Amino acid sequence: MTSQSQQERYRVVILGGGIHGVGVLHDLVSRGWKDNLLIDKGTLGCGTSSRSTKLIHGGLRYLEHIRDFPLVAEGLKERQLLMNLASDLVKPLPLIFPVLNKGGVSRPMIKIGLSLYDFLAGSKRIERHRSIAESEVSQLAPTLDKSLFKHYYLFYDGQTDDLALVNRVAASARSHGGKIVENTKAEKITPDKDGYIITLNYGGELRTISTRYIVNAMGPWAHEILSASQIEPKYEGINNKGAHLMVQDIGLKSGVFLQSPEDGRIFFVLPWLGKTLIGTTETAFSSSPDSVITDQNDIQYLLDHTNRFFSKKLKEKDIEAKFSGLRWLAKDKTAGLSDTSRSYQISQHRHGHGIIFTIYGGKLTAYRALSETLGNMIISDFGDLQKSQTDKKQFWNKTSLNIESSVITRFRGM
Ligand SMILES: Cc1cc2nc3c(=O)[nH]c(=O)nc-3n(C[C@H](O)[C@H](O)[C@H](O)COP(=O)(O)OP(=O)(O)OC[C@H]3O[C@@H](n4cnc5c(N)ncnc54)[C@H](O)[C@@H]3O)c2cc1C
């Protein structure tokens, strides 16, 4: 941004620099659209996009609902694409799915689920799932308590460093002309004759810019700016908290996909960047997204559930870092919290030639597909035909921007 008194104008302004914001910017510049600006109130990826479970997956558990099959299939397709486009950042991860002796999903149901997962992946499959013997389990997850399980399956998904992925996509967008400004808060949107005026706050200094299209990619914060601007949201948005703990490496060579026999909830214990990552809880969250923290209930839930399945018992002092993120979803009025579809929605507010697009839901895994869909909506409204090129390697940078190297200090205060 410049400090000229004349107002800057962009064709597209993207609010929020999580995976969706940088994804949309990358999509637009790959089509040759350079007249865009992305704003984040913090640093890139500082919101939900650095607090995920780091899986690049279709989401085996989403197979519970037929309505989510397309979401799973899309995730599996994108998983393969990302493993090609950023192979140093998105890698295959073996996962054990043990069958509980008592309770939990039955062995036939798990088998059906894994077969369907393979089927939906089709040729994009990493490896077909298979049954494995206890001896193999002992190699992959030495401290898993085998007295609790009667059978084991092994299947594959992808794993990444989410913050590094955000930075890679941002670096790719920048190297093709994308403009990004961090530490600048979007305060308010005001409709005007040419679209919208956005009031920005940069360290207490207020400035305005104008634009035709706004992409509201602020995730859990998306409704804050709408209400500050007296714009009625098209969907009811809900936030759903998920907490993670990071402990010293407990010797896992694969991830473990576990199920609580009491509440049926799935959680993961995963090897990640030389540590072990445990997550996640799922609780409704209605306070300000800035106030999300991992509280004592989250810690207890995750420690208790992990300790029940592993012979090495973890204590609170073993926790090296913790972090929580918010799943921002368009509420399905007929469903409960955990039943609300993870499919994304994009709402539109129109004013003259201008449009505000607001993103609800979505997954790290499928951010590229969502960004392409949104790019298509903008381009076609403008009457352009340029195609997205984000599925081509030449539109990707090979290295990321500088990110904090320590995985522990990254999560301070979460
Ligand atoms: C616990 C949990 C686990 C998950 N695990 C996975 C997983 O394993 N795999 C997967 O595929 N998906 C996963 N997801 C989903 C995935 O993480 C999210 O869908 C994705 O990160 C959302 O990205 P986003 O860009 O929409 O939002 P965010 O990453 O939250 O970005 C929003 C940005 O907007 C900025 N912002 C806010 N207000 C303003 C303002 N006024 N002005 C300017 N900027 C502003 C924020 O600073 C932030 O950077 C998980 C989600 C959660 C919550």
State whether 124 and 186 are in the same domain: no
pLDDT grade, residue 3 (50/70/90)? very low
Do β-strands 275-279 and 237-248 pair in parallel, antiparallel, or remain unpaired?
A: antiparallel
Q: Tell me the average pLDDT across 29-45.
A: 97
Residues 215 and 102 both lie in one domain: no
Q: At 368, list the tokens.
A: 């590229």
Residue 216: pLDDT band by 50, 70, 90 thresholds? very high
CB atoms inside a 10 Å sphere around CB 185: 18
Of all residues in the chain, what percent are helix, strand and coil, respectively (each to 5)?
30, 30, 35
Pocket test for ligand 1, best of 26, 95, 183, 218 (most atoms within 8 A of CB): 218
Identify which of 74, 227, 363 to mutate to test ligand 1's pocket (most ligand atoms within 8 A of the CB).
363
Of 183 and 337, which is predicted with more confidence?
183
CATH of the domain at 121: 3.30.9.10
* Count of domains forming the chain: 2
266 and 124 within one domain: yes
Could you read off the pLDDT of 133-158 as tens digits, one per residue? 999 999 999 999 999 999 999 999 99
Domain that holds residue 217: 8-49+163-235+342-411
Indicate if 224 and 241 belong to the same structural domain.
no
Which protein residue has the closest C-alpha to ligand 1 atom 4? 52
Q: Ligand 1, from 24, 53, 302: best to mutate by most atoms within 8 Å of Cβ?
A: 53
Say how many Å lie between the CA of residue 166 and the centre of ligand 1. Answer: 10
Q: Decide: 23 in ligand 1 pocket, CB within 6 A.
A: no
- Is residue 298 domain-shared with residue 368, that is, in the same domain? no
Strands (E), 85-235: 91-100, 130-131, 149-159, 179-181, 185-192, 195-202, 205-216
From the CA atom positions of the chain, what is the Rg in Å? 22
The dihedrals phi and psi of 58, each to the nearest 5 degrees, come to -80, -30
Q: How far is the CA of 310 from the centre of ligand 1 (A)?
A: 31
With 0-12 / 13-18 / 19 or more C-beta atoms within 10 angstroms meaning exposed / middle / buried, residue 103 is exposed
Tell me the C-alpha distance between 93 and 338, whole Å. 25
Q: How far apart are CA 116 and CA 118, in angstroms?
A: 5
- Could you tell me if the CB of 158 is within 6 A of ligand 1? no
Domain finish residue from 277, 295, 330: 330
Instruction: Tell whether 64 is covered by a domain.
Output: no
Model confidence at 4: pLDDT above 50: no
Say what percent of the chain tops pLDDT 70. Answer: 93
The answer to whether residues 211 and 181 belong to one domain is: yes
Using a 6 Å cutoff on CB, does residue 126 contact ligand 1?
no
Nearest-CA residue for ligand 1 atom 18 is 363
Q: What is the tens place of the pLDDT at every residue in 10-20? A: 999 999 999 99
Any domain includes 76: no
From the DSSP assignment, how many helices (H) and strands (E) are in the chain?
Answer: 8, 18
Residue 79 covered by a domain: no
Q: Which CATH number do you get for residue 220?
A: 3.50.50.60
Does one domain contain both 210 and 272? no
Q: State the pTM of this model.
A: 0.95
The backbone torsions φ and ψ at residue 277, rounded to the nearest 5 degrees and listed phi first, read -110, 130
State which of 330, 364, 384 marks the end of a domain.
330
* Beta strand spans in 314-353 (E): 319-330, 345-351
- Cβ of 220 closer than 6 Å to ligand 1, yes or no, is yes
Structural domain includes residue 81 = no
93-109 mean pLDDT: 94
Give the burial string for 295-304 (b: 16+ CB within 10 Å, else e): eeebbebbbe
Q: Are strands 205-216 and 8-15 parallel, antiparallel or unpaired?
A: parallel
* H-helix or E-strand spanning residue 115: helix 107-121
CB atoms within 10 A of CB 151: 16
* Cα angle: 197, vertex 199, 203; to 5 degrees: 155
Q: Are residues 207 and 122 in the same domain?
A: no
Closest residue CA from atom 27 of ligand 1: 219
- Does residue 42 contact residue 183 with C-beta atoms inside 8 Å? yes
Establish whether residue 255 lines the binding site of ligand 1, counting it when its CB lies within 6 angstroms of any ligand atom. Answer: no
146 Cα: distance to centroid of ligand 1 (angstroms): 36
Report how far apart, in Å, the C-alpha atoms of 245 and of each of 70, 153, 270, 297, 390 are: 31, 25, 11, 12, 33
d(CA 348, CA 374): 11
**Same domain for 142 and 266?**
yes
55 CA: nearest ligand 1 atom: 8
- Evaluate whether residue 259 is within a structural domain: yes
Confidence of residue 407 (pLDDT cuts 50, 70, 90): low
> Tell me: the pLDDT tens digits for 305-331?
999 999 989 999 999 999 999 999 998
Where a domain ends, among 286, 301, 330?
A: 330
As a whole number of angstroms, the distance between CA 32 and CA 43 comes to: 25
| Cα 3 to ligand 1 centroid, rounded to whole Å | 30
47 touches ligand 1 (CB under 6 Å): yes
Euclidean distance between CA atoms 396 and 353, whole angstroms: 32
CA of 92 to the centre of ligand 1 (A): 23
Predicted pLDDT at 72? 95
Residue with tokens 């507010």: 349
- Whether 249 and 122 map to the same domain: the answer is yes
Establish whether residue 21 lines the binding site of ligand 1, counting it when its CB lies within 6 angstroms of any ligand atom: yes
Index of the ligand 1 atom closest to the CA of residue 327: 53
pLDDT of residue 343: 81
Same domain, residue pair 202 and 317: no
Nearest atom of ligand 1 to the alpha carbon of 366: 11
